[in-house]
Structure 1
Amino acid sequence: MEFLTSSLENHCFSELLDGSDGDEEEILVCGEDLELNPFDGLPYSSRYYRLMKEREELPIWQEKSTFMETLLHNQIVIVSGDAKTGKSSQVPQWCAEHCLALQPRGAVVCTQVLPRAAVALALRVADQMELGVGHEVGYCVPFESCCGPETILRYCTDEMLQREMMSTPLLSCYSVIVLDDVHQRTVATDALLGLLKGVLAARAELRLVLLTAPHMCSTLQGFCGSVPMLRVRGRHRAQAVFSCSPHGDPFLPALRLLLEIHHAREKGDIVIFLASEQEIEKAFQMIRQEQPNLNPDLGELIPIPLYPTKQDLPPKLIQNKQKCCKKYRRKVLLTTSSGEPLIWTKNVTFVIDVGVETRKVYNPRIRADSVLTQPISQSQAEVHKQILGMSPSGKIFCLYPEEFTHKEMKAEIPAKVQESNLTSLVLFLKRMDIAGFAHCDFISSPAPESLMQALEDLDYLAALDNDGNLSEFGIIMSEFPLDPQLSKSLLASCEFECVDEMLTIAAMVTAPSCFLHAPPGTEEIARSRWRRFSHPAGDHFTLINVFNAFRAATASPTQPGNREQWCCEYFLSCSALSMAEMIRAELVEIMKRIELPISEPDFGSEANLLSIKKALLSGYFMQIARDVDGSGNYLMLTHKQVAQLHPFSSYCNTRRIPEWVLFHEFSISEGNSIRVVSEISPHLFAELVPQYYFSNLPPSESKDILQEVINHLAPVSATKEEEKTASDSKENEEFPQAHTEQRCVIQ
């Protein structure tokens, strides 16, 4: 169907971004004295030397000898470079060369903010070094690792290196650690910077290289002390063209400008920085629909969506020579400001910048993200211009007046640690505290209110003991690369014997949404197809149905294209469901590694459905809402915010409005919505909610209703507690050493 990118186009995306045509033939260098690759001992091919000439043309290359000398004599080196100067691909290779001379030879790890950037860089660098991906060069991203014991250069996300520190705090297998895109100020990168200070103090031989944009240099030097810095500039300065007046909504003007550039017949690829990933999807569809109406003499307009937060499967390096057209092919890269690291094409001549972005800012008081559309920062605007540093005739069209830059834009992007949910970070820091890293020195102090809320939530989840340290239960929770509430639900499923089903739910809510936005005119068809998977118990159960149907429909090994076809028929994302498969497989491996029981599947039985709800409530009792007027206006139990069901909810499809629901996510935007919701009963909530959490809830009609339920259950609970106390006393008399920490019990 037209609204889905075809499999063929997916195969071509990597070659399109690389700017190659796939027609080169590899010829081994002939002669008696073949130059050997020091990493694998094999002779270089002619392709290596051709790529070497391209590498030598990068602005970063002239700094190689200076960098190698500086790295040899200093523990920390800062490389400050404009965008697209080659620092992300070349500096880690030089670090690998540095490691070749060490005894014992260590490895290099280079962190990336985006999973897709880590994968793309590993593929590109392996090609330049003429080594195999998964062998000497590899990558490690959430729920997928492509590395081996011989890997000397590894690209990974900052979160993956963070998790690696939990098991090996000193990161002893690495001789050089490269933190890339430090200026993005993610929570994980800021935490790594703080903790690596202690690692460097413990390992004098370790080297730390920080790659950043120029505006971050003074901050880093103030944080790291007097350390050497290398500055790399782009070759050309882009010509900036500003709008005369601000647009109300720059989305359509950006697409109109794209078509104007295309009709002007000026050569070169185009990057459009849009406000959100929803706009990326919308622009992609609109450009494809407009393609048949364009003059064929102008050439082909190829939209390529680059979603920063979506971790798609690794690009398939299959070149289709029959696809190569004789006519001109212009690539249009659609992304947001945070997607800049995903841009690799060499032929960008035009940049269109809308000047705004959609950001999520966490509000700890209501435990929800506020989705805000606001101006980008001045530093981000400067990075957008630097993309054209390799083009002598590059132009950037800013769809905002020049004075907007100084009056409305902040100087720098805010640190994520000051506007994010910090529960996962605090869980990680508590785990590092056990390893002896009691202090993390942050560049920017985390928001105090968010820290307090994170500690409170971990306490509610029984992850902390009475002294505020990680409980045994909290240590197990930290083993899972999941939100702490989801980890708690997964562990609770061991008690309620519904592990198989909770593994599927955890994978499906962690992966991107599997439901695709239907093109105009096909919305009712999509809803009717999705109705097949709807489960009366709610969205969590519907997701199990979708996942099981996907597996059943795509189980045939003789029909490799069956997955895309099936997903296309049901308006589902094949990449999201494939990602859920990978996530689930990794979670199973973790369960086996820490020897947790995995119950047999029993989905569909009444007992199993009740057990799943109990497991979900064990982790998400803080995310309960009640329909207060019978029309779908849900009031949060923890505060007075009102929200509606997300349009993708199965309840919207079946037009049923449950009174009490548990929800996975709540975001404040133009239309407040709760996403992935399932019906629960007040009695079940009253049975599982920790009393010290319930007592802290603000007064409300909903709380009064629940209090009545708790009072009604109290006599029964008291009787059970007396029986339990008597039983425990008897056991303690016989086995006095068997008493365990009460806070570690699943609640």
Structure 2
Amino acid sequence: MASRLLGLTEESGLSPGESELAVNPFDGLPFSSHYYDLLEQRRALPIWAARFVFLEQLESSPSGVVIVSGEPGSGKSTQIPQWCAEFALARGCQVTVTQPYPLAALSLALQVADEMDLTLGHEVGYSIPQEDCTGPQTLLRFCWDRLLLQEVASTRGTGAWDVLVLDEAQERSVASDLLQGLLRDARLGNLPGDPKVVVVTDPALEPKLQAFWGNPPIVRVPRGPGRCPTPTYRDTVPPDRVEAACQAVLELCRKEASGDVLVYLPSEEEISLCCESLSREVGTLAIQGPPPRVLPLHPGHGQAVQAVYEDTDSGARKIVVTHWLADFSFSLPSIRHVIDSGLELRSVYNPQIRAESQVLRPISKCQAKARQLRARGAPPAAPGFTRPPLCAEEAALRRALEHADGDHSSLIQVYEAFLQSGADKAWCQARGLSWAALCQAQKLRGELLELMQRIELPLSQPAFGSEKNRRDLQKALVSGYFLKVAQDTDGTGNYLLLTHKHVAQLSPSCCYRSRRAPARPPPWVIYHSFSISKDNCLSIVSEIQPQMLVELAPPYFLSNLPPSESRDFLNQLREEMTDSSTESESSSTQEFRDACVLQ
């Protein structure tokens, strides 16, 4: 079997001059010239030297498990899935590759489909939240590890795969660890179809994974050619990370040092600021050739991140600005310079206060080493507003989209205006709106509508802006988010969160903050998220009436609140409303019989 696979691989590796009629074994069509160009680049990757060993171990491993260990940038994430696809093609089975982040799964699917000379969505596909780009012919599927865990849990089996590649195992995501535990306890030998599992990891986690899986065969990727990049450290910590990163990039450009540049900053906000600053500056540089291209790389850009892999006909240098996401599965062969802030901003959930904290922390030594190795390259890979308004005209355009009832209604109003504009990208840019996020909202609404129709819920068209629709929307929000209620304790915008007695303020992007004086903050609000950060803010906020909270919240809610004046007020209000409780229940029952409305 392994010899047949190797023969298949060698045949597909023929150059155009050696075989004009060579066909792609996956779709039966002749290879394009672009395929051979990429093949030469693939052969130069460090992982290519381990190809024969990997295919032999995949075929002969007694336990069905193979561990692949190699440094970042060695080509593991792109080449291992392709070799597994060759293995699966000979056996008539399917391959699933997991990634700890949805954007990584999307990007790899695009890149691998290009390298295999196949059409994305046919033989190669991907599955991420709200987007399934697969079909009946899909042989190789990239997916978010949480989605595969859901599939395994729902089917009580292995899911729709015969060969499973668990990539970036060193990231230790909850879903990846659970999948490994479930598969080990299930014993692959006892499962039908002789399934195979390939665990791809950084060398640092190799000993632990080897012990966990019971000493399976390990394929070690040899170190690539070339010396290890030499780090240069700043003598002092710069007061402005973004400005320091921009100056370091411009200095490299002025020296006209060859190669692309990769910049690591902690947050998406800093990435956007850095890209805006560099885009203004690079055009004024007195350098030979075209000005460099500045490219952001973070989850908010969706499929647009694929631009970091695209070759430029003009030969312009690429400056990729990213954060911790590029530590995993984003190997860019042309990178020769890395500018690393040494910090990352991560969301850490605290179950005691039911809130996420934005924690700015130093990266680990392992991350720092991996980022340093990126410079070696390879021998010749939130709905709503995106930023604060930049001028008075943009601020006025935004204010026109705000709704008197708060942020939730404002978001609906933004969405309706987006549809009326014909989903125009320029319309979004003029108002500082995220076009990609609004397109995603449109897709989500379509999926929700399809689900409601599938379970035969009665539907009626929304009458947004009518008094009944306004009241129904508030009831829906309170019924679903009664645990996220806060009261303004002193009339100045200091909100006490009822469930854990934290005090927070409204986000600067909240519509109540942008209203002209003497507008006062609403006394009672319901919020979508609360994050402990430098601003300690409530995000996506709408005013509610406490009577509605007492009426719609479950009985256990008030009795389990921590002691506060807010709780005492709500309990007193409940006693006053007791006499009318029977009438409220009957009217609520009648309302729930009405047709469902999807905004």
User: 1:461 maps to which residue?
Assistant: none
User: 2: CA distance between counterparts of 1:235 and 1:28?
Assistant: 24
Q: Which amino acid aligns with 1:551?
A: L
Structure-2 change in CA distance of 1:529 and 1:721 (3 Å): closer
Q: Which residue of 1 aligns with 2:568?
A: 704
Aligned counterpart in structure 1 of residue 191 of structure 2, from 203, 211, 217: 203
User: How far apart, in 2, do the equivalents of 1:159 and 1:688 lie?
Assistant: 33
Preserved contact between residue 200 and residue 206 of structure 1 (Cα < 8 Å): no
Contact 1:349-1:391 at 8 Å conserved across structures: no
The question of whether the paired residues in 1 share the 8 Å contact of 2:383 and 2:441 is answered with no
Q: For residues 130 and 531 of structure 1, do their structure 2 counterparts lie closer, same or farther at Cα, with a shift above 3 Å needed?
A: same
Matching of residue 367 in structure 1 with residue 354 in structure 2: yes
Aligned counterpart, 1:222: 211
Q: How far apart, CA to CA, are the structure 2 residues paired with 1:221 and 1:597?
A: 54
User: 2:125 maps to which residue?
Assistant: 138
Q: Is 1:306 aligned to 2:297, yes or no?
A: yes
Identity %: 40
Give yes or no for the alignment of 1:335 onto 2:326.
Answer: no
Q: 1:342, CA displacement in angstroms?
A: 6.1
Whether 2:263 is the aligned partner of 1:272: answer yes
Q: Secondary structure at the match of 2:26?
A: coil
Which residue of the partner structure matches residue 286 of structure 2? 295
Q: Distance in 2 between matches of 1:182 and 1:598?
A: 45
* Amino acid in the other structure paired with 1:225: G
Q: Is the 8 A contact 2:295 2:308 kept in 1?
A: no
Matches of 2:324 and 2:564, distance apart in 1: 42
Equivalent in the alignment of 1:476: none
Map 1:255-266 → 2, pairs under 5 A: 255-266=246-257
* Structure 1 equivalent of residue 11 of structure 2: none
Query: Does 2:485 correspond to 1:615?
Result: no
Structure 1 residue 651 displacement after superposition:
1.2
Alpha-carbon distance change, 593 to 73 in structure 1, aligned in 2, over 3 angstroms? farther
> Which SS does the other structure have where 2:409 is aligned?
helix
> Which of 386, 396, 400 is equivalent to 1:516?
386
Instruction: Assess, with a 3 A threshold, how the Cα gap between structure 1 residues 197 and 391 changes in structure 2: closer, same or farther.
Output: closer
**What residue in structure 2 maps to residue 533 of structure 1?**
401
Picking from 148, 166, 175, the partner of 2:162 is 175
Aligned equivalent of 1:238: 229
Q: 1:344-378: per-residue Cα shift (whole Å, max 9, x none)?
A: 43211110111111111111111111111111111
CA distance in 2, matches of 1:285, 1:169: 49
Structure 2 partner of 1:381: 368
**CA distance in structure 2 between the aligned counterparts of 1:152 and 1:701, rounded to whole angstroms:** 61
Corresponding residue SS for 1:644: strand
What is the alpha-carbon root mean square deviation over aligned residues? 2.8
Cα distance in structure 2, aligned partners of 1:547 and 1:28 = 51
- Cα distance between partner residues in 1 of 2:277 and 2:306: 25
Q: Is the CA contact (8 Å cut-off) linking 1:118 and 1:157 kept in structure 2?
A: yes
Using the alignment, how far apart are the partners of 2:309 and 2:99 within structure 1?
Answer: 26
Contact 2:394 2:431 in 1 (8 A): yes
What residue in structure 2 maps to residue 89 of structure 1?
Answer: 78
Gaps of 5+ in 2: 1-13, 589-599
Encode CA deviations 1:431-482: one digit per residue, 9 max, x unaligned: xxxxxxxxxxxxxxxxxxxxxxxxxxxxxxxxxxxxxxxxxxxxxxxxxxxx
Number of residue pairs the alignment of both structures matches: 566
Alpha-carbon distance between aligned partners in 1 of 2:305 and 2:248, rounded to the nearest angstrom: 30
2:67 partner SS: strand
8 A Cα contact 2:406 2:511, kept in partner: yes
Q: What is the distance in 2 between the residues matched to 1:317 and 1:382?
A: 26
Which letter maps to 2:214? G
SS at match of 2:136: coil
Give, in whole Å, the separation in 2 of the partners of 1:642 and 1:172: 45
Aligned to 1:683: 547
Deviations 1:705-725 (A, max 9, x none): 11111111123226878999x
Q: What is the rounded CA distance, in whole Å, between the counterparts of 1:699 and 1:318 in structure 2?
A: 53
How far residue 311 of structure 1 moved from its aligned partner, in angstroms, is 5.4
Summarize the Cα distance change of 1:298–1:721 in structure 2 as closer, same or farther, 3 Å threshold: closer
2: distance between equivalents of 1:583 and 1:624? Answer: 26
- For the 8 Å contact 1:79–1:231, the answer to whether it is kept is yes
Matches within 5 A, 1:472-621: 512-518=382-388, 520=390, 522=391, 524-554=392-422, 563-621=424-482
Using a 3 Å threshold, how does the CA distance of structure 1 residues 693 and 190 change in structure 2: closer, same or farther? farther
**How far is the alpha carbon of 1:81 from its aligned partner?**
1.2
Q: Which of 84, 89, 114 is residue 101 of structure 2 equivalent to? A: 114
Provide structure 1 residue ranges, at least 5 long, that are not aligned to the other structure.
Answer: 1-26, 394-511, 556-562, 725-747
Structure 1 residue 528, shift from structure 2 partner: 1.4
Counterpart Cα distance in 1 of 2:368 and 2:119: 37
**Distance between the aligned counterparts of 2:173 and 2:155, measured in 1?**
22
C-alpha distance in structure 2 between counterparts of 1:211 and 1:716, whole Å: 63
1:574 Cα deviation from its structure 2 partner: 1.1
Q: Tell me, yes or no, if the aligned pair for 1:313 and 1:579 is still in contact at 8 Å.
A: no
Which residue, out of 533, 537, 544, partners 1:673? 537
Measure, in 2, the Cα distance between the counterparts of 1:604 and 1:214: 58
SS in 2 for 1:544: helix
Give the superposition deviation at 1:299. Answer: 4.6
Determine if contact 2:246/2:274 at 8 Å carries over to the other structure: yes
Q: How far apart, in 2, do the equivalents of 1:518 and 1:587 lie?
A: 31
Paired position in structure 2 for 1:625:
486
Q: What displacement does 1:194 show?
A: 2.7
Tell me if the contact between 1:28 and 1:44 (Cα under 8 Å) persists in the aligned partners. no
CA distance in 2: counterparts of 1:252 and 1:150, whole angstroms? 49
Point out the more displaced range, 54-63 or 602-611. Answer: 602-611
Task: Provide the rounded CA distance (Å) in 2 between the counterparts of 1:721 and 1:578.
Answer: 39
**Change beyond 3 A, Cα 1:673–1:545:** same
How far is 1:197 from its partner? 2.9
Closer/same/farther in 2, CA of residues 31 and 291 from structure 1, 3 Å limit: closer
Aligned mates of 1:688, 1:36 — CA distance in 2: 65
* Structure 2 SS opposite 1:290: helix
Distance 1:723 1:611 in 2: 13
Q: 2:273 aligns with which of 270, 276, 282?
A: 282
Post-superposition Cα deviations, 1:650-687, rounded to whole Å, max 9, x if no partner, equal: 11122441110000000001111000011111100001
Corresponding residue SS for 1:242 = coil
In the alignment, which residue of structure 1 is the partner of 2:9? none
| CA spacing shift, 1:230–1:342, aligned 2, 3 Å | closer
**Residues in 1 aligned to 2:404 and 2:186: alpha-carbon distance in whole angstroms:** 52
Rounded to whole Å, the distance in 2 between the matches of 1:690 and 1:175 is 46
Equivalent in the alignment of 1:470: none
Can you list the C-alpha shifts for 1:223-253, whole angstroms capped at 9, x where unaligned?
A: 2222222222333322122233444453322
Q: Secondary structure at the match of 1:293?
A: coil
Q: Look up the match of 2:509.
A: 648
* AA of the residue aligned to 1:257: A
8 Å Cα contact 2:558/2:570 also seen in 1: no
Alignment pair present for 1:61 and 2:48: yes
Q: What is the rounded CA distance, in whole Å, between the counterparts of 2:341 and 2:429 in structure 1?
A: 32
- The one-letter amino acid of 1:543's match is L
TM-score (norm 2): 0.88
Deviation at residue 160 of structure 1 after TM alignment: 2.3
